[in-house]
Structure 1
Amino acid sequence: MTALTILIFAAAYLLGSISSAILVCRLFSLGDPRKQGSGNPGATNVFRLGGNFPAALVLVFDVLKGTLPVWVSYYLGLEPIYLAFVAVMACLGHMFPLFFGFSGGKAVATAFGAILPLGLDLAALLMMTWAIMVRLTNYSSVAAILSVSLAPVFTALLKPEYTLPVGILSVLIVLRHKDNIIRLYQKQEPKVRNRKNTK
């Protein structure tokens, strides 16, 4: 492993540590997303707190946090295994942000962004899986858990050289959904939309 690779790992983690959800909520005076709604500083919770536009800003930035370091690493010639671990570092930054007391989000959008440069076919398959599950269940957490659980399988079929780091990332994301799983079991998990209020 070269010094450049280590530097890129560090840069990916630091970029991931910029919590767009917290910053956007401050910009729109929505409060701290870690203390409201689901308690997760991510696009879905910001959508509940502030609507479409703030959530869209968070989603775009969180995706870019994963895409940019992986894309730059690819053009710098990093080997596939190191390239994939750049994605892992960006997601670890989102989960445990240095700049926000190591209290971060689930890294689903950041992981998706990191997968984009690895293959649009893989990214499209994961996005379709997530969208279908949100439509069927109305739970963002269920869609995320199922999508990331299937990610190593899809990767093994389409991009087998990235299966190990994608598998590691999937385990981390599922573990970060521990509280969501408990709330789902207790039937206390908030839905993406309250269907009674959208009729």
Structure 2
Amino acid sequence: MARKDMMDLPGLTALFVLIGYLLGGVPFGVVISKAMGLPDPRTVGSKNVGFTNVLRVSGKPAGILTLIGDMGKGWVMGFAATQLLQDEWAILLVALAPFLGHLFSPFLKFKGGKGVATALGSVLGVAPLIGLLLLVAWIGSVAISRYSSGGALTAFGLFPIIAALARPTGPFILFSLLVTGLIVIKHKGNIERLWKGTESKMGQGRPG
């Protein structure tokens, strides 16, 4: 049996999924804020553990480190899966695991962030060009609108369309739909505020 075939055994895939879920559950926003002597993001601002809230309440250094940590845990598992596994379903399950861990962290009583940075990291790991397109869409939308949530929703709203055009396989399209659906659900409050015109813009001190 070839080495990669052995790595596709269900038990090993399940192990990688567990590792990815636990890694995804590490709340870098909380860890970094505490390490830097800054407020716990769960208690200030929007009370979200992700990059945007940490950036708003604790400044650029903590925010950027949180972004790197949250994207990194998705990328590590996504990239590792492409190197160690062959089956597309198995690869995408492993890539999905840190995203789910971030949303439902076992270290935060199964609560968590909104998953945008971790999802971007996972996509960059398994499909770098598609991930770059999403990243450009996110950054471009934020640069124009100044809404972090709007940028995230724009990028991942495009994800299933890009997936259907650039990688039209059943597993990847399903992956894109699941990730996008969960991100939209997690941004329900942001969507309501965007509709009402009360959502905070990047650079504003108040939370969004």
- TM-score, normalization by structure 1: 0.92
Matched, 1:89 2:62: no
Matched, 1:115 2:123: yes
Encode CA deviations 1:119-140: one digit per residue, 9 max, x unaligned: 2221121111111110111110
Structure-2 residue corresponding to 1:179: 189
Distance in 1 separating the partners of 2:204 and 2:76:
34
Unaligned runs of 5+ residues in structure 1 are: none
Encode CA deviations 1:24-79: one digit per residue, 9 max, x unaligned: 11122222212222222111111111211111111111111101112222221241
Structure-2 residue corresponding to 1:15: 23
Q: State which drifts further: 186-195 or 122-131.
A: 186-195
Aligned-residue CA RMSD (Å): 1.6
Encode CA deviations 1:113-166: one digit per residue, 9 max, x unaligned: 101122222112111111111011111001101111111111111122211112
Within a 5 Å distance, the mapping from 1:153-164 to structure 2 comes to: 153-161=161-169, 162-164=172-174
One-letter amino acid of the counterpart of residue 179, structure 1: G
- Percent identity over the alignment is 35
SS at match of 1:35: coil
Matched, 1:31 2:39: yes
SS at match of 1:21: helix
Encode CA deviations 1:93-116: one digit per residue, 9 max, x unaligned: 000100112121011111111011
Unaligned runs of 5+ residues in structure 2 are: 1-8
Distance in 1 separating the partners of 2:184 and 2:131:
18
SS at match of 1:8: helix
Matched, 1:43 2:38: no
SS at match of 2:48: coil
Distance in 2 separating the partners of 1:78 and 1:106:
29
One-letter amino acid of the counterpart of residue 76, structure 2: L
Distance in 2 separating the partners of 1:59 and 1:108:
10
SS at match of 1:53: helix
Number of residue-to-residue matches in the alignment: 195
